[in-house]
Amino acid sequence: MSEIKKFMFVNRKAPYGTIYALESLEVVLITAAFDQDVSLMFLDDGVYQLKKGQQTKGIETKNFSPAYRALEDYDVEKLYVEKESMDARGLTEEDLLVSVTVLSRAEMGALMDEQDVVLSY
């Protein structure tokens, strides 16, 4: 695989309630291993995936949120979070466990248009 493509992962689901967030994260890591240009977009309930302070002992489920902090070790550094989605959930950038770029919904749409591959979760 010599040609580098732009991959975007669109994350719209809250963690734990469904399997989408974890599945997305696993495919992100696979894609990064193939040296592709990877971007992650978090919008709607997907912004909850990045909330600090997740404590999953009580629900006996693996807390996969620390893995988002490890993404930069895989050269996955383009993380975009949608502002309106954070506002509707009472979240600010300080609530997130990684540093991100905050975009408007219109900017998210434009970024989506630039991609070679879009994966929806």
Q: Compute the radius of gyration of the chain from its Cα atoms.
A: 14
What is the smallest separation between the CB atom of 60 and other proteins, expressed in angstroms? 9
Q: Closer CB to other proteins, residue 61 or residue 101?
A: 61
Q: Closer CB to other proteins, residue 39 or residue 49?
A: 49
Q: Closer CB to other proteins, residue 3 or residue 57?
A: 57
Distance CA 46, CA 39 (A): 14
27 alpha carbon, distance to own chain's centre: 11
Residue 41's alpha-carbon distances to 9, 31, 57, 60, 77, in angstroms, are 6, 15, 27, 28, 11
Is the Cβ–Cβ distance between 15 and 48 less than 8 Å?
yes
Binding site for other proteins (CB under 8 A): 13-18, 44-45, 48, 51-59, 61, 63, 65, 88-91
What is the smallest separation between the CB atom of 17 and other proteins, expressed in angstroms? 3
Helix (H, G, I), strand (E, B) or coil at 6: strand
What is the smallest separation between the CB atom of 24 and other proteins, expressed in angstroms? 16
Q: Closer CB to other proteins, residue 2 or residue 90?
A: 90
What is the smallest separation between the CB atom of 10 and other proteins, expressed in angstroms? 14
Distance CA 83, CA 63 (A): 25
